[in-house]
Amino acid sequence: MRPSKLTAEPVSRLVDELGRLPGIGPKSASRLTYYLLRASREQALALAEAILELKERVFLCSTCFNITETDPCALCLDPTRDRSIICVVEEPLDALALERTGEYRGLYHVLHGAISPVDGIGPDKLRIRELLERVERERPQEVILATNPNIEGDATAMYIARQLIPRGITTSRPASGLPVGGDLEYADEITLGRALVGRRAL
């Protein structure tokens, strides 16, 4: 937003800060700011405290590197989880998405990114060494490589698989293919091709 004499400095400061958040443009940032200006002091303080607490109390689990406020995290400690299987994901949000399916009862390992040499991200910048140490320690039966199905995710999955297979660990990659409720005729060729390659017997 361009500076204006009509805008008090604290207002434009918050607009700028909010505008730096993903998915929020200048318009949304002003709307949120003016909303907060009118909101009760309690509501504004609650938001400020929530943000502070996020930075002060949340850190990474030393086992799975997911975000947590206890170490090890609740999921790593949960006795009902299947400890023979580890699912490797790029980001904490990916683990959350898998959790929501309710289909997965094993443990996670969060890499915090994917291999991308252009951006200077090699295996050493990810939690891959920690994964290999963990696998040696815990000897799971299977490691699921659930990195994203794009070039960088594929590269990461393959790099890890090449380290795990000689160690005698079964590795797998989630099937990619047709969305549930979708129409075959609208699927693009790549998706359809992958779905055919990964087909299952009935």
Partner 1 sequence: MTDLGHVAIRHLELEQFRAHVALTLDVPPAGLRIHGPNGSGKTTILEAIQLLSTTRPRRGALDNDLIHHESGRDLGLQPYARVVGVFDRAGAVARVEAFIQRGVRGNTARKTLKVGERARRAADVVGLIPTVSFAPDDLELVLGTPSIRRRFLDVLLSQTDKQYLRCLGKYAKILAQRNGLLRRVDALGPTADQFVFWDEQLVALGSYLVAARVRAVARLAECAAARFELLAPGIGEFQLAYVSTLDAPAPWWRALVNEPNDTFDAAQRVGVMFERRLRESGVQERARGMTVVGPHRDDISVALGGRELARFGSRGQQRVAVIAVKLAEIDVISSTTSLRPIFLIDDVLSELDMHRRRALLQAVAAEQCQLLVTSTEAELLEDPALTHTGELELG
- Which residues in this chain contact partner 1 in the complex, by CB under 8 A? 25-26, 115-120, 122-123, 151-152, 154-155, 158-159, 162-163, 188-190
Q: Measured from the CB of residue 27, what is the shortest distance to partner 1 in angstroms?
A: 8
Name the residue nearer to partner 1 (CB basis): 25 or 198.
25
Q: Which is nearer to partner 1, 75 or 161 (CB)?
A: 161
- Please name the amino acid found at residue 172: S
Listed residue (106, 112, 63, 113) closest to 83, CA to CA: 106
Query: What six digits make up the tokens of 62?
Result: 């030393």
| Shortest Å distance, C-beta 191 to partner 1 | 11
The dihedral sign for the CA sequence 23, 29, 31, 34: positive
CB of 26 to partner 1, least distance (A): 7
Residues 6+ apart with CB under 8 A from 187: 178, 195
- Using the minimum distance from each CB to partner 1, give the nearer residue, 155 or 178: 155
| Min CB(151)–partner 1 separation in Å | 5
Q: Which is it for the CA torsion 51, 57, 62, 67, positive or negative? A: negative
